[in-house]
Amino acid sequence: MNMLTTVITPEAEKYLEALVAELEIPKSRYEQATSRYISLGEWLHRDASAIKKFDPQVYVQGSFGTARRSSRSPSAKNTTSIP
């Protein structure tokens, strides 16, 4: 078995930390996305919705750029994740 050992130099670690900081999505953008997911859920439950009777559930994606997670997650077997 070929085993590789990865060594990250202090310089590389500093570079990667700076890169992560540069790429991190601002809290305001996360909040905007959360608001839009909530709005979509409300729209799908409006009286004129053809799918309201199926009680569609919309959850904020936990993978939205950072380690932030939704406090709710799908638990039913018949769930669909829409990125």
Instruction: Output 61 or 73, whichever has higher pLDDT.
Output: 61
pLDDT tens column, 21-68: 888 888 898 899 899 999 999 999 999 999 999 999 998 876 554 444
pTM of the predicted model, to two decimals? 0.52
Q: Is the pLDDT of residue 77 over 70?
A: no
Residue 38 · residue 61 · CB < 8 Å: no
Three-class secondary structure assignment of the chain: CCCCCCCCCHHHHHHHHHHHHHHCCCHHHHHHHHHHHHHHHHHHCCCCCCCHHHCCCCCCCCCCCCCCCCCCCCCCCCCCCCC
Query: In this predicted structure, what is the pLDDT of residue 68?
Result: 43
Extents of the domains making up the chain: 26-77
